[in-house]
Amino acid sequence: MHIKTFGPAILIALAGCFIAWQFVNPAPPDTITIATGQQGGAYVLFAERYREILAGEDITLNILETAGSVENLRLLEQDPHSIDIAFLQGGSAARPHAENLVSLASLYYEPLWVFYRGTDELTRINQLQHKRLAIGEPGSGTRSVTQTLLQENGLDDGQVTGLPVGGEAAVSALLEGKADAAFLVASVESPLVQQLLRTPGIRLMSFERAEAYTRQHHFLSRITLPDGVIDLQENFPPQDTPLLAATANLVTHEDFHPALVGLLLQAAEEIHGGGSLFAAPDTFPNHQNLEFPLDSGARRYFRFGPPFLQRFLPFWTANLIDRVKIMVIPLLALLIPLIKVMPPTYRWQVRKKIYRWYSELKALDFEHPEALPAETISASVQKLDDIEEEVRKVKVPLSYSDELYNLRLHIEMVRNKLRQG
């Protein structure tokens, strides 16, 4: 009886679970790959810190070293299965690009340093005319932004000699006299920047028209290297020096698993939220100066903070609960009516069987049993015994037992009537 009564309800509930499960997001991957930059660069160093934090949540972060931002963008667009996320320097996507990319956040300022040889003070890029310039390696963000600024100042290939070197190679070329100026995009803490700031005969260009550049390019910001911040004793630099800076973006595909967005942004807050020489604490990460539209999950994060469950539970536990909670509403929609329907249905099932026995009992309740042959009375008594045996085997809740006891009393009454007849 229980199977007949509750079986359909169980099947309906299981069918509801199956249908709801089709709408549950798949589990996030436990391994992701990030495209960074050259070995020893800021992107690789930051990626290693992300890897440490994510490892604490049982997620493996593979680090892919590249030439820089331009190559990272190419990988995102043309080889999306090779990487999941990438660091991108602001301005790297200043050309037609794929529409399926989104930004997760701006992470930190990337100052553009222009170091040059000589004693004259240079404050404008067009003063580098006819110079040999280390403009960054092909595929790097440094080269991308440098070429943009040179072209805007009328310095094409015929006006300057561009040397396709960056990083350590650019610094070496400048120090060895093979380059007259070097463009670097790096943090102030970079050993290369610190070396050039302290090298006699090497000077730092002050961007006199920094504000103008920021009006022309949304990805550039005006920042200031404060008077004496590098060396207070020597008062270096001797005056506030305006610089240009892009921002490092964290970029991914629009179908990147939403559960990982919040986790990456929590890691970004831990890594970049402490402030720097150019940014106050809690300035980064933010959703300004983005290369691509802001991811919807990132927008929720910046508005409301980390997902509620991830504030209190381990990532995988919180994610499992988030994924299956979509099943709760349809299940409740099924179970609430079933809970209301099941008691009357069960009561009807019990009474249906009792009424059938009463129907058989009524057929054996002869009005004048004394007129019946002995064989008929004997067969009727045996039939009553069989009915009673069936009744004994039925198990029902206490609330229904009184009806069975009444039935057994009536069976006994009819049996006695037959025997006495």
Q: What is the pLDDT of residue 309?
A: 86
For residue 158, give the amino acid letter: G
Q: Which fold has domain 36-306?
A: D-Maltodextrin-Binding Protein; domain 2 (3.40.190)
Q: pLDDT class for 94, splitting at 50, 70, 90?
A: low
- Residues for the chain: how many in total? 421
Q: Is the predicted pLDDT of residue 399 greater than 80, yes or no?
A: no
Query: Domain ranges in the chain?
Result: 36-306, 341-420
**What is the DSSP code (8-state) at residue 184?**
E
**What is the DSSP code (8-state) at residue 305?**
-
- For residue 171, count CB atoms less than 10 angstroms from its CB and return exposed for 0-12, middle for 13-18, buried for 19 or more: buried
**33, β-bridge pairs:** 62
**Strands 31-35, 60-64: parallel, antiparallel or unpaired by DSSP?**
parallel
Lowest-confidence pick of 110-119, 246-255, 260-269, 378-387:
378-387
| More confident position, 10 or 301 | 301
Q: Quick one: which of 68, 187, 173 has its CA closest to 116?
A: 173
| More confident position, 159 or 418 | 159
Angle at which helices 258-272 and 296-304 pack, to 10 degrees?
A: 50
Q: What is the pLDDT of residue 98?
A: 64
Tokens 């990626």, located at residue: 47
**What is the DSSP code (8-state) at residue 358?**
H
Lowest-confidence pick of 55-59, 83-87, 189-193, 277-281:
189-193
**Strands 85-89, 241-253: parallel, antiparallel or unpaired by DSSP?**
antiparallel
Q: Is the predicted pLDDT of residue 302 greater than 60, yes or no?
A: yes
Q: Is the predicted pLDDT of residue 209 greater than 90, yes or no?
A: yes
- Average pLDDT of 125-151? 92
Angle at which helices 2-21 and 328-364 pack, to 10 degrees?
A: 160
Q: What is the DSSP string of 60-105?
A: EEEEE--S-HHHHHHHHHH-TTT-SEEEEETTTT-S---TTEEEEE
Q: How far apart are CA 35 and CA 251, in angstroms?
A: 10
What's the chain's average pLDDT? 86
Q: What is the pLDDT of residue 156?
A: 84
Percent of the chain with pLDDT over 90: 48
* Phi and psi torsions of 109, nearest 5°: -75, 140
Q: Is the predicted pLDDT of residue 25 greater than 70, yes or no?
A: no
